Amino acid sequence: MTTTNPAPGNVALQLYTVRSLTQGDLLGVLDRVAAIGYAGVEFAGLSGIPATEVRARLDSLGLAVAGAHVPLARWEGETDVVLDELVALGSPYGVVPIVPAERRQTAGAVQALAAIFTSLGRAGAQRGIRFAYHHHAMEFEPLSGGDGRTMLDLLIEETDPAAVAFEVDLYWAVVGGADPAALLARLPGRAPLVHLKDAGTETNEKGIPADLPAGEGTLPWETLIPAVRASGAHWFIAEQDNPNPADPLADAATAWRNITRMVGSGG
């Protein structure tokens, strides 16, 4: 399979944002996402529908696949099946969205994980799939035995750059105490997918800023959008962990309008 990376500026939706709807009607949700104006989607599971059937609906709607989140357990337990699905779906990227706590608490555990990521990334490359890792906030905490280094430091330093990319999440970088623009600058050519959501002024039940549609909160988009562009990212991906439960598609539409405006204006 040969993948073609879109030009920077394309806006996609991570379907985890509307997971309450996709569980019962993934194909119908794709129709509604296309109607909002999104150029592509990033998957978080296929709701039991064959990848070829999903691909057919995408083609009929003119929607591209920005990527797909696949749990690490599946990557490790059925690598070939995962790659077959990604190829059938037409996804250029396969992304590990999170790893179990016991595999990220010490420097040694993360170094072992880096070796596994490199191996999986090389297997993916043979099928035209680029492997990537999506971070949250905990990856910015110093590791036990890491001499001050963080999980993200080790993953960046100890994975093969040709095999392993990163999906930078601007919100989670800020929550983790990092400068997302500096993080992007550290990953030239290694951050093809970027998650965009915003931080509210109020905290949620976890004691962190409530997540909002991009452009509706406090993140400095006037500097972040140019930083994403400069990084060589291929997709601006709207994503929310906690959208309006009554109408998550309304939040998705707000994010699309704001991101499209900000990308068009440069910030």
| Contact in structure between 131 and 94 (CB atoms under 8 Å) | yes
When pLDDT is cut at 50, 70 and 90, the band that residue 264 belongs to is: confident
pLDDT (tens digit, 9 = 90+) per residue, 131-165? 999 999 999 999 999 899 999 999 999 999 999 99
Q: Which of 76, 101, 122, 204 is nearest to 212 (CA)?
A: 204
Write down the pLDDT at residue 9: 59
Q: Kindly state the DSSP code that residue 215 receives in the 8-state scheme.
A: T
The encoded tokens of residue 146 equal: 């890491």
> For the chain, which domains are there?
10-265 (3.20.20.150)
- Alpha carbon separation from 174 to 164, 168, 177, 190, 231 (Å, rounded): 23, 11, 5, 19, 17
When pLDDT is cut at 50, 70 and 90, the band that residue 267 belongs to is: low
pTM exceeds 0.85 = yes
Give the three-class secondary structure for 38: coil
**Is a pLDDT exceeding 80 seen at residue 94?**
yes
Phi, psi (deg, nearest 5) at residue 131: -85, 140
Helix (H) or strand (E) run with residue 85 in it: helix 79-89
Residues near 201 by beta carbon (within 8 Å), at least 6 away in sequence: 209, 217, 218
When pLDDT is cut at 50, 70 and 90, the band that residue 1 belongs to is: very low
**Is a pLDDT exceeding 80 seen at residue 3?**
no
Report, in angstroms and rounded to the nearest whole number, the Rg of the chain calculated over CA atoms. 17
**Is a pLDDT exceeding 50 seen at residue 44?**
yes
